[in-house]
Amino acid sequence: MKGCKDMEIRKDIKKQCEDRKNQCGDEKGQSKEYKGYQEKFEKYLCGELKESESQRIEEDIEKFQVLLSHMDQTLDMELYEKEDEGLRKEGEEQEKEAELGRRISKAVARKFRHYMIAAVAAAICIVPALLAGISPLLDRICYNPDQSVEIADEENDAVIVVNPFVTDMSVYMEMFCGDKGFVELRLWAEGYGRYTIDVCTQIDGENTSHMLELVRNHLYRNDFTWNRSDFPDNAFIYGNEGKSCSMEKEAAGKKLEEAPEMMKIRAAVSFDGLKSMEELVDFMRRYDTQYLYCPIETGGGRYWGFSPVKAGYDLDMTYDQEEYPYLDLSQYLTGEEKFASAEIYEQHMESMVRYLMERKEFLKIFDGGAPGGKNFLNTYEYERTLDYIREQGVKSYGTVVYATKQELLKILEDPSVNGIYMLEGKLDLKF
């Protein structure tokens, strides 16, 4: 009986195949349909098929599984009944898990696209507006050395654009390290609150760059002596109580006699006491050489002084000339007169101190604090200096010169000179 049933099943399958063949047409048409179905099936496996077509593939798979199950049951119903049922359920569960995974992937992809669109919109619309608002805010919070000011020139019916930072730095460098010969300032804005500053000094045509980095009110520098005199603190005799490194005039004279004739030397010349501005001007007019710096007595502390022959920026349009008379000596020194009067030097020195006292934001960064640290300013030092020169007058205890060997020997003959410190020298081939 079992053999008869198997024969009947095989006949039914054979008949179904013949009917299918008649429906599909000839062998060539059947091949095309087979290839088309195979391509769809491969796309289904890769997850690239549309949902409606995927459902048709899944229906075919279920039919094929039913057919296989029926054949297996027919061949040996008792042997494979339980095992086949377990496989069928497992297949259905796997299919359900696969379908769930595809839906989750699609949902995540949609959500990701929404976030990307929102981020791009923010970058295009929100960020520029935000930066436009931050820029003036940072200018108020952080010191901006690149900020320009417009000054009306009524005489020429024009407007002049100036940068106050140039004036601040010019006055500051002259007062504390005029012997370096400050001549130029270059500035690059690197971003919000960040600037690169090149303070350029010059001695006898030789430039030296002092690079500074200003990052949101914190100053960083490689050269820690950029705003100090090149001479040591005890280069002059006055006020050092025998601890000066200055040579006595007799020993210095012997050293100079041994130097080459074309030697040019930067030297700190010490007086035997304090000279008033009248005495200082008289001294400079007697000895014709290049005077770089005149330190003055302030009652203690670092070098304070001025350059008697100003070179560099013309600052006449960048400050109030009535408020700070003779702040810029280049306005009053002509080719006919090499040195200014004693009264002009006195007012020049006082104007520089008062001018910087009003530039507290500038001084906090460039005259106070530690590199990258918290900014602080010793305002008492400026107040004490201003009080001292007003009460005692502007008096100098020496001068820095850049002179030839012969000029230095003449200066050493002056009875008011009692020592000299020679910093550096070089051959001057122009003679």
- Given a contact cutoff of 8 angstroms between Cβ atoms, the answer to whether 234 and 240 are in contact is yes
Rounded to whole angstroms, how far apart are CA atoms 108 and 232?
70
Element of type H or E holding 401:
strand 395-404
Kindly tell me if the per-residue pLDDT of 27 is higher than 70.
no
Please write the tens of the pLDDT for every residue from 199-225.
999 888 889 999 999 998 899 988 888
249-258 and 405-412 are packed helices; what angle lies between their axes, rounded to 10 degrees?
160
Q: Which of these, 400, 281, 291, lies nearest to 343 by C-alpha position?
A: 281
Q: Which residue has the higher pLDDT, 228 or 113?
A: 228
Sign of the alpha-carbon torsion through 329, 333, 337, 342: negative
Q: Bridge partners of 275?
A: 396
Q: What is the pLDDT of residue 147?
A: 86
Sheet containing 417-427: order of strands: 247-248, 417-427, 263-276, 395-404, 290-295, 305-306
Out of 5-19, 137-151, 286-300, which region has the weakest mean confidence (pLDDT)? 5-19
- Report how far residue 43's alpha carbon sits from residue 52's, in angstroms, rounded to the nearest whole number: 13
Contact call for residues 217 and 375 (beta carbons, < 8 A): yes
What's the pLDDT score for residue 278? 97
Give me the DSSP letters along 200-237: EEEETTEEEEEEEEEETTEEEES-TTTTS-SS-TTSSS
More confident residue, 7 or 202: 202
Which pLDDT belongs to residue 1? Answer: 46
What proportion of the chain, given as a percentage, has pLDDT over 90? 40
The mean pLDDT value for 310-328 works out to: 76
Query: Please, are residues 372 and 274 in contact by the beta-carbon 8 Å criterion?
Result: no
Between the alpha carbon of residue 33 and those of residues 36, 111, 242, 361, the distances in Å are: 5, 39, 112, 85
pLDDT (mean) for 77-104: 62
pLDDT of residue 26 exceeding 70? no
Band (301; pLDDT cuts 50, 70, 90): confident
pLDDT surpassing 80 at residue 138: no
What does residue 419 show for φ and ψ, rounded to 5 degrees? 180, 165
Q: List % helix, strand, coil for the chain (3-state, nearest 5).
A: 50, 20, 30
81: confidence class by pLDDT, cuts 50, 70, 90: low
Confidence class for position 426, pLDDT limits 50, 70, 90: confident
Whether residue 36 has pLDDT greater than 90 = no
Alpha-carbon distance of 327 to 22, in angstroms, equals 112
- Is the pLDDT score of 352 beyond 90? yes
| Residue in 415, 382, 417, 380 with CA at minimum distance from that of residue 401 | 417
- Sign of the CA dihedral running 194, 195, 196, 199: negative
Alpha-carbon gap, residue 121 to 143, rounded angstroms: 33
By the 8 A CB rule, do 212 and 221 touch? yes
Highest mean pLDDT among 99-108, 181-190, 267-276: 267-276
User: How do the domains of the chain map onto residue ranges?
Assistant: 2-75, 149-221, 247-427
Q: What is the pLDDT of residue 130?
A: 45
Per-residue pLDDT band for 279 (boundaries 50, 70, 90) equals very high
Q: What is the pLDDT of residue 44?
A: 72
84: pLDDT confidence band, cut at 50, 70 and 90? low
Mean pLDDT of the chain: 79
What's the pLDDT score for residue 11? 53
Q: What is the pLDDT of residue 40?
A: 76
Q: Which tens digit of pLDDT belongs to each residue from 149-204?
A: 777 666 777 777 778 899 999 999 999 998 998 888 899 999 888 999 999 998 88
Q: Residue 171's pLDDT is what?
A: 93
